[in-house]
Amino acid sequence: MGKVRLDESRHREMAAGLEVSLRRLAPFLTIACLLLLWQWISSRGIISHILVPPPADVYQAFIDSLADGTLLKHTVITLEEMLYGLLLGVGIGLAIGYAIAKAPILENILSPVIVAFQSTPIVAYAPLLVIWFGSGIASKIVTTAVIVFFPTLVNTIVGIRSVSPNLRDLMRSLKAGRWQIFRHLEAPSALPVILAGLKTSTTLAVIGAVVGEFVSQGSGLGYLVTSARNLYDTPLVVVAVLAMTAISLTLYGIVAYVEWRFLVWQRRASA
């Protein structure tokens, strides 16, 4: 009887382990299936190579662009624009978001401008940003900052406003100063929501930088797409698009890791 129970328990453990492994493998299996489907479509000629280049051609373009430094050069430029744009947009979003959360009158004053700016597609006014800030890196940084600003702002407001009034009262009753309330109560409480906003912002940052590069060309992955497209080098277009995806996923992963590290207390509390 005892052996049967032991076998059942081991069986359950193995099944659970297998499920975890499968869940970890699932994304890679999806990618592998997509690659196989892509190769199959190309080899059967279902869609012309002109429209969808075979994976082998894309791989060759990746190797070539890596070897001659093209891919790295443009990736670094896009990353630079994104990071500066993120710093600027997130910084302003945090500051204004905190101010609005603390002084609701500011929301009434600023929201018409903020909502109007945010509800207009960035591609519509990106050409204006190029005219105002020049065709160099500044216009791309501003484009990125504008696009990442709103999620940060909204999440900061929500995060700060979600702080329990009871805890705030408790800290005040303990004679805590403004900085202490911010440092020990508001910041930790709002952090999960702010980091969720930051995850959205990092993925949007690629869009901002690339939109800027499409409007005012010269360098970066957006430029590489246009340039390769104009030279009918479709495999290189795919390489540039995949590079954008990789950047976006990497930054998202970094923020997710930061979130995981910083919010240990939250996980523990949940446990």
Partner 1 sequence: MMNLVRLMIVAAIWLGLAVSAQDELVDERILLTFIPNVQFAPFYVGVEDGYFADAGFNVSLAHLQEPEVLDLVAVGQANFGIVSGEQVILARSRGRDVVYVFEWFQKYPVGLVYSSALDLSDLANLQDMAIGIPGRFGASYSGLTTLLGSAGLSEADIDLREIGFNAPEVFCLGVIDAAIVYVNNEPLQINNLAADGDCGSVREVDVITVASQVDLVSNGLIVSRAYLEENPDAVARMVGGLAGALRSVIDNPAGAYLASLAHVDSLPADEALLKALESAAEEQVDFLASDPDRGDIARSRRRLAAELAERFDRAALTQLNVLLNTIELWDAENIGYSDLSSWEAMRDTLDSMGFLEDDAGSLQDAFSNRFVTGADW
In sequence order, what DSSP letters do the residues of 214-245 get, joined into one string?
A: HHS-SSSHHHHHHHHHHTT-HHHHHHHHHHHH
Q: Which is nearer to partner 1, 206 or 215 (CB)?
A: 215
Interaction with partner 1 in 227-266: which residues (CB under 8 A)?
227, 229-233
Question: Applying CB under 8 A, which of residues 130, 145, 148, 243 lies at the interface with partner 1?
Answer: 130
**How many chain residues are in contact with partner 1, going by CB under 8 A?**
21
Degrees, nearest 5: CA angle 144-147-148: 85
Assess contact for 219 and 73: CB atoms under 8 A: yes
Q: Which of these ranges, 17-25, 85-93, 130-138, 244-252, lies near partner 1 under the rule CB under 8 A?
A: 130-138
Binding of partner 1 by 218 (CB under 8 A) = yes
Question: Applying CB under 8 A, which of residues 146, 206, 223, 243 lies at the interface with partner 1?
Answer: 223
Tokens of 107: 């929301």
The residues near 40 (Cβ < 8 Å, ≥ 6 apart) are none
Binding of partner 1 by 48 (CB under 8 A) = yes
Type of residue at 150: F
Q: How many alpha carbons lie under 13 Å from residue 172 in its C-beta half-sphere?
A: 7
Binding of partner 1 by 153 (CB under 8 A) = no
Q: Which is nearer to partner 1, 90 or 240 (CB)?
A: 240
User: Which residues are at the interface with partner 1 (CB under 8 A)?
Assistant: 48-51, 127, 130-131, 134-135, 215-218, 223, 226-227, 229-233
